[in-house]
Structures are given as structure tokens and as C-alpha cells.
Amino acid sequence: MPFDPVMAERRFGVGLSPGRAAPGSVAAMLDSLAGPDAMARAWTIPPYERAEPSRATMRARALAVRDAETEADRTAAMEARSRMRMAARELYARNLAVEMARSVDTHDGLRERLARFWADHFTVRALSGGYRHLVSPYIEAAIRPHVTGRFADMLRAVVTSPTFLLYFDQLRSYGPNSPRGLKHGRGLNENLARELLELHTLGVGGAYTQRDVRQLAELLTGLSSSARRGFHFRPGNAEPGAETVLGEAYGGDDPALDDILDAMEGLARHPDTARHLSRKLAVHFIAPDPDPDMVHAMADRYAATGGDLLATVEAMLTHPAAWDDPYRKVKRPVDFIASGLRALAVPPDRIVGAGRRDVHHLLRVPMRVMGQAWQAPVGPDGWPEADSEWITPQGMAGRISWAMRAPERLLEALPDPRDFVHHALGPDPSEAVSFAAGAAQTRTEGVGVVLASAAFNRS
Amino acid sequence: MSLSRRDVLIRSLALGCSAAAAPLVTPVALANAPWEGRLVVIILRGALDGLDAIRPHGDADFAALRPTLGGGDDPSGLDLDGFFTLHPGFESLHPLWQAGEFGAVHAVSTPYRDKRSHFDGQDILEAGLPGLGGGGLRDGWLNRMLQLRGGLEPEIAYAIGRERMLVLSGLAETARWSPEADLAVSAQARQLLNIVHHDDPLFRDASADAIEIAASLELEAERAEQTGAMMQADPMMAGVAVNTTHVQLADFAASRLRGDTRIASFSINGWDTHSQQDQGLRRRGGMLSDTILALRAGLGDVWGRTAVLCLTEFGRTAAENGSGGTDHGTGGAMLFAGGALRGGQVLGDWPGLAEADLYDRRDLMPTRDLRAHAAWVMAQMIGLNRDELEQVIFPGLEMGARPGLLL
């Protein structure tokens, strides 16, 4: 099947919108991706380095409470800490609202989907509730700028991100023969090395061995972060000597960050990485069992361009199998809600201006009931792809409830369901959905039944 | 939900879309409740520090190990039996202790050793197996128990809350619901939903099940109201905030357990107290206490036939660490409550806290597999025999002698 604008939005974007024309061709989609990131400018999320309260601020506030010498100082310090915590909660809620607003406002929906895809690929979770507001800033700094660039650059950005290193316990990994390792009797923590190979690059079926995990773990020692200094390389933690990962030797007697970054380049260029990432993209966007010929074409393109992700996406979009009928994926709750807001044309400034409580009740709690606690997946492998993981009775109850209740709390006036069915599903909705939209007794139920329909929930 | 009832539902819808007002399903009452006892399994994720919840004040080594966590001349703990004291966070359970409805088993653990990973530890706890094995976990021990009994309606067991509970997952059908997912749609909207899902079996089945569960809960609304009233009337609930997630889970569980449900499981998270444990345990202890008080109030007469087991993946280090907390350990405590159990006592063989008595010279030495206690409770309440318990439900377990926790 050839290019179809409705499919371009529903399968590769964040859904149809009554106020945003669907792209007219694959070339138009690629042009948007190659152009500037308009949504990041219009609806800002502070990148990690500028997000407040930062880890440094949080540490300073905690120390001020601890070190207060008088009762009055202590009270003042505690008040300052409370204000900081409130600011963190506000930012966390705003981050979610902005993520939704970008999806509603964009002409470049594929970029939003790619940002979520790669953020999920490099999943992190805040170590405690106090740091939740820093997850979006991590994504904004380390991932989003690279979704149309080179995979190696994204990989290098994440392994030098404090949030990522903390999540994988890398700060507790010491070269056994490093000065600090010897002094404190500390050793390696293989966690990050294993996940980098298994999840982030070659994939679980990739051609690596336990020896590669071990060598990579040794090579990664020295990656560090602190509240005060942020990311830094600590040679005193780093294992001396060269390490051989997947047949390539990195580093020498003087441990250096560049050796680690070179190794990231090597992992990114590995043919198993090309295959793993290409297949994962195709599974995410198109089907659980994507056309092998399309996956090959994507992996070839990835390899030929040195891991250029825009070229890889182009190989997917220009392959005929990308446009096969029918829709075979289920929207994740975050995409379900984003596309619902988009179809309803909820004004983006209204979403961003919503208070913390509304964000909580209209977005966060419903997502949780649907099975996707925002930015808090269980493990480093991120959210599941299988339809059956999402469309459970409880998950479905969450989708139906949101569809029936949220729209009237988001809009002054609901659209006529007979129009809305076209806003949401395009010019040719199925007869069943058209009938149901028209047969409802109230606008609320008519709009709700369209949003809850299988057709709207698939992508 | 069972296929047969789903089929009935689908057939009833196929008759036509005009019968808008009639309720779509009448929940099938269990013809015969297969046993009377109620078992509530609460998973405390994050690893509860048993040594702080139930403090061995009488142990000569305790004070030195826990200088800021109850080991000093801390007046805040409540005396239990002259040897153990109760962390003040659990204060509101003290009257239950005195009434013989709350107690603990100390120095227990699952068979999990050494790696001290939360995720592996919880998996082993819920799978009820001696180790993780290689092939992935198929099911949880409560589900294997239901598989053995067979022929039960899914409502016999409820996994409550938004998380998947491995302990109840498996081949035997069980019900799973979160009180957060309250689905209220009109009869006509239900009809329309069925139309828009008709051609997509995944959506059709899931939403039919969702509507069916919600409808059956609606028909039980009277009982839920009753639960609310019972909780309100109970003087012990005076200090309990009822609009919290954990109390709502307890409320939902109590409503089900007063009906046909016999097993309920949910989790309370946040026990991983690496720092500022005193505050952390006050908060979590308060949550767990509120939960137990709410179950008691909401269950009414049924409380007398109820056993509540609070299980955690492992204990924490015997010594407190440098940040006013404790790190991942091995042996710990199982808290229990309910009128079906013999509370007012701390059970278990106390191994002592001298360095040589510790596991790995750092953790409380487990002196019994906590699965043995769960097994004995099920043996008595549900009438399972030793072979079933030691071979199928908890493979590799030696139940040993009957512990003193059963009435």
C-alpha cells in the first residue's frame, strides 16, 4: 500500500488533529524531521544542566538543614527545603503537561514518537520521588537532540548523564586494580556493562560473551557523577590497562574518558546493533512481526551511514511494508492520551497551564490505571510492546473511564461526536464507530465511545 | 474471567442493541464457598527491617548495632513481651497485640541468599520457589494453590491495586482490579462500546471483562457502602485517614472478602530504608497499621476467620549504616494479624545478634523458611496436605513442626 496521510499520523505520528494537516508525503515527514525541533522551542523543558532544583541545589538545601546552628536557622532552612520540594513537584507536573502539549501542537508528530521511543530505549527511573522532575530534563539533554542524528552520539550522551549512571549503579563500580578499588577493597558492578550490550546496543541475541561484559565493565569504571560537580571522569576509580570489547582494544595505562567514548562508537557501529535497533523500531511502529525485508533495508542503511537514525527512519518509511494495512499495534497509554488530547484539540497552553492537581487527576492517575505509570517503568527494559500487556480488563477500564470523563473536564464544549469521529479517525472511519458516535445519547458518551474504540486505540 | 461467562455475555449482546436498560450480567454467586477462612497476603516491597519493626531490645548486642535506631535508651518503642519492643510507627497495632490479633515471627526469610536484589528477592518470595532457576517464573504460590483446588470462580482470589502480583499470577484464573479503575458507564454506552470493539477480539474481550467486573462491583455496591459504614463506626479507625490508597485497597479487599472472595493480595511499597529509617518506618509502619485496622473494621465478624500475612523479600543489615538507615540483608520478620491467628506473641528461634551468630557476619540469621508459616496457615485454613504444600505450592520446603501461630 502506498503512502497514506491518515496512516502517517496514526501509525507514525501522535494521531490526527482537526487543526493540524497531516503530512502529504514521506518526503514532507522527512523534511520536518531534518528541520529544527519546533516543539522543543515552543514548549520548553529545561535540559538537565539547567533544571532546578538541580542535584546540587537539593544537596545544598539538605546540608543547610543539617548544619543549621540555631533553631531559627534550622526553621528557615527547612522552609527553604519545603519550597524547593514544591518547585520540584511543580516541574514534574509541568514536564508531563509539556510532553502532552508538544504532541497536541506539533506538525512533526514522528519526532515526538521518536523522542518517546528513544527515551524508553534508554529508560531511567528516578531513584526516589524527590528526583522525578529530572527525568524529562535528562531526556531533553541527552536523547531528544539526537533522535534524528547519529545513534553513537546519543549513546555517548547517555553514558555521560548523571541520571543514567545513577540508575545503573555505575557510581559503585570500581576497577579492582584502580587506586580507589585497591584502597577500599571495592570491585566491579557489571550492571551498566551488561545492560549496554543486552538492551541498548547489540541486543540479547547479539554476539557478545560474559568476557565482553566483564571487559566493558572494567572499561566503564571512572564514569562518575556527584551532586556538586555533575558528571565527571574519576581516573582514580578506573581500571588501569587496555580492555578488549568485541575484539577491539580500548585504552591503555592512563585511563581516559575518550577511550570509553570510542568504545561507544564501536558498540554503535556493530552490525548486531544495526539489526537490533532496526527491528526494535519496526516492531514499535508497525507490527510485532515486521517484514524482514524492511528490517534488512533499515539495518543496511544504518550500517552504510554509520548509524544515522534519520536515514534509518527513512529506510523504514520508504519501504512499502511500512504502509501495510491494517493497524496492528496498540497505543501505549501515554500515546493514547496524547492522541486523545490532539483529536480533541485541547489548546496546548491550557494543558501547560493546568495546575498540578489537574495534571495528576486528568493525566497521571489515568495513565497509571491504564498500566503506564509515567516515567516509572518497572525495569531498565522499559515498557512492553505486546498488545496483550496493555489491553487487560483493568487497562481497558482505565481507557474507557478516561475517554468518558476527561474530555468534558478539558474542554468548555465537546465537539459533535459525528464530527469528532472524523477528527479522530479520518475521512473513512469504520461503520461501527460512525454508527456508535451518532447513536450515543450525549456528546460525552459519543466522544467517549470514539476515544475508547479499538480503532482509535490502535496505531 | 471465565470463558463461559464471557461467552454468555457476548451472546446476550448479540441479541440486539435495544435492550439498553437491562443489566448485562448477573454475577454468578459461588454455589458453595469451598472453605471459610480468609487469607490476605500483603507484600511489603523494598525489604522491611524486621529488626526495627520488632526490636529485640532484650538482646545484649542490639544496642551497639542500632545506636540511633531504637538501640539507645529509646523511650519510643512499646514493650511487647519483655524481650521485643514494637517500633512506634506500628503503635496503633498495640491494642491488637494485646487482644491477641497481631503478632510476628522473627528471624525468617525465603530461601533467597546473598545477591540481595529486590527484584530477584520479590520474585522468589512470590513464586514460592527455592531459587530463580533459569527459565523464567511461570506462576506464584497462591495461584498454584488455586490450581490444585481447581474448579473455582475467578472471584475466589483478588489481586488488588495497579501492580501485577506474581504471587497470584498463573494458570488458575483470578480476579484483578484496582479500586482506582472505577468504571461507571451507562448501559447504552456499554452497548456502544461493544459495537466499536466487536471486530477486534483483544479489545472486545478485555472491555467485556472490564464491564463485567465493574458491573458486578456495582451490584455489590451495598456491601461496599456497608464496609464504609463499618469502618466509620469502628472507634479504632478514629485516627486513620480513609482516603489514602492503602486504606482504599483494604476497603476494597474487605468488601470482597465479606462476599465470595477468600484470598486477597496487594502490596505496600517503600520499605527500602537506606537512610533516615526512623522517619521512613514511622510513615510506612503507619500505613501498614492503618491498612490492618481498616481490614479489621471492614471485615466485621469475618475478621475472626481471617489471617493477614505481611511478607517482605528479605531483612536488612543487623548494624545500622552511616546514614541512619540499614542496607539489604537476609533474615527478617513476618508480621501477621487476624482473628484466625494466635497473636500477642513473637514466634521463632532467636539466633542472637553476636557477630558470630549473624549470617555472613552482617545479617540476622534466618532460622526458618518463612514459607513454612504460610504453608501451615494454608494447611489449616484451606485444608491442604503436606505433599501438596511441600511439592507443588512450595517446592523444596520442609514444613517442619506446626508452629504456634495457628489457633
Residues A326-348 pLDDT 10s: 999 999 999 999 999 999 999 99
How much is the pLDDT for B10? Answer: 31
Chain B hits for A457, Cβ within 8 Å: 203
Min Cα–Cα distance to chain B from A14, Å: 21
Chain A hits for B207, Cβ within 8 Å: 393, 396, 400, 452
Burial of B235 (0-12, 13-18, 19+ CB in 10 A): exposed
Q: Could you tell me where the beta strands, DSSP code E, fall in B278-407? A: 306-312, 332-337, 346-347, 368-369
Give A317-336 as a DSSP string. Answer: HTSGGGG-SS---B--HHHH
Burial of B129 (0-12, 13-18, 19+ CB in 10 A): buried
Tell me the mean pLDDT in the region A260-281: 98
Chain A hits for B188, Cβ within 8 Å: 440-441, 445
A53 prior amide bond cis, ω within 30 = yes
Contact present, B367 and B107 (Cβ < 8 Å) = yes
Nearest CA in chain B to A365: B180
Chain B hits for A448, Cβ within 8 Å: 185, 189
ipTM: 0.90
How much is the pLDDT for B23? Answer: 31
Contact present, B27 and B209 (Cβ < 8 Å) = no
Question: Which CATH fold topology does B26-181+236-393 show?
Answer: Alkaline Phosphatase, subunit A (3.40.720)
Task: At B398, list the grid cell.
Answer: 520442609
Question: How confident is the model over A190-218, as pLDDT tens digits?
Answer: 889 989 999 999 998 899 998 999 999 99
Is A152 in CB contact (< 8 Å) with chain B? no
Neighbouring residues of A53: CB distance < 8 A, sequence distance ≥ 6: A61, A84, A87, A88, A133
A454–B214 C-beta distance less than 8 A: no
B213–A397 C-beta distance less than 8 A: yes
Write the single-letter amino acid at B177: W
Neighbouring residues of A138: CB distance < 8 A, sequence distance ≥ 6: A48, A124, A161, A163, A164
Burial A4-35 (b: 16+ CB within 10 A, else e): ebebbbbbbbbbbbeebebbeebebbbebbee
Nearest to B53 by CA among B372, B356, B337: B337
What gap in Å lies between CA B238 and CA B248, rounded to an integer? 16
Write the single-letter amino acid at B387: D
Min Cα–Cα distance to chain B from A401, Å: 6
How much is the pLDDT for B240? Answer: 92
Note the pTM of the prediction, 2 decimals. Answer: 0.74
Contact present, B219 and B225 (Cβ < 8 Å) = no
Chain B hits for A430, Cβ within 8 Å: 199
What gap in Å lies between CA B256 and CA B272, rounded to an integer? 30
Is A388 in CB contact (< 8 Å) with chain B? yes
Mean pLDDT of chain A: 95
Task: At A418, list the grid cell.
Answer: 459525528
pLDDT tens digit at each of 407 positions of chain B = 333 333 333 333 332 322 222 233 333 333 456 899 999 999 999 999 999 999 999 999 999 999 999 988 766 889 999 999 999 999 999 999 999 999 999 999 999 998 788 878 988 999 999 887 655 567 899 999 999 988 888 889 998 887 778 899 888 888 888 777 778 788 889 899 999 999 999 999 999 888 888 877 777 788 888 898 999 999 999 989 888 889 989 999 999 999 889 999 999 988 988 888 999 999 999 999 999 999 999 999 999 999 999 999 999 999 998 778 898 899 999 999 999 999 999 999 999 999 999 999 999 999 999 999 999 999 999 999 999 999 999 999 999 999 989 88
Question: How confident is the model over A132-175, as pLDDT tens digits?
Answer: 999 999 999 999 999 999 999 999 999 999 999 999 889 888 99
B178–A440 C-beta distance less than 8 A: no
Upper half-sphere CA count for residue A43 (Cβ side, 13 Å):
23
The torsion angles phi and psi of A249, rounded to 5 degrees, stand at -90, 135
Task: Give residue ranges of B with CB < 8 Å to any A CB.
Answer: 1, 119, 162, 176-178, 180-186, 188-189, 192-193, 195-200, 202-204, 206-207, 209-210, 213-214
A391–B162 C-beta distance less than 8 A: no
* Closest Cβ opposite residue A445 in set B162, B192, B209: B192
What are the distances in angstroms from CA B127 to CA A100, A378, B10, B117, B307?
38, 18, 35, 15, 20
How much is the pLDDT for B73? Answer: 72
How much is the pLDDT for A1? Answer: 59
Is A436 in CB contact (< 8 Å) with chain B? yes
**Coil, strand or helix at A416:** coil
What gap in Å lies between CA A234 and CA A171, rounded to an integer? 10
Min Cα–Cα distance to chain A from B17, Å: 11
Cα torsion A253, A256, A260, A262: sign: negative
How much is the pLDDT for B135? Answer: 52
Nearest CA in chain B to A443: B189
How much is the pLDDT for B134? Answer: 53
Is A404 in CB contact (< 8 Å) with chain B? yes
How much is the pLDDT for A227? Answer: 94
How much is the pLDDT for A106? Answer: 98
B162–A368 C-beta distance less than 8 A: yes
What gap in Å lies between CA A299 and CA A281, rounded to an integer? 11
Burial B342-379 (b: 16+ CB within 10 A, else e): bbebbbbebbbbeeeebbeeebbbbebbbbbbbbbbbb
How much is the pLDDT for B137? Answer: 66
Tell me the mean pLDDT in the region A65-92: 95
Nearest CA in chain A to B189: A445
Is A110 in CB contact (< 8 Å) with chain B? no
Helix (H), strand (E) at residue A278: helix A271-285
The full length of chain A comes to 459
Min Cα–Cα distance to chain B from A318, Å: 29
Cα torsion for B169, B172, B178, B184, to the nearest 10°?
A: 150
- The band of A385, judged by pLDDT with boundaries at 50, 70 and 90, is very high
Min Cα–Cα distance to chain A from B121, Å: 15
* Closest Cβ opposite residue A433 in set B176, B181, B196: B196
Interface A:B, Cβ pairs < 8 A: 99
What proportion of chain A, given as a percentage, has pLDDT over 70? Answer: 100
Question: How confident is the model over A3-62, as pLDDT tens digits?
Answer: 999 999 999 999 999 999 999 999 999 999 999 999 999 999 999 999 999 999 999 999
How much is the pLDDT for B213? Answer: 80
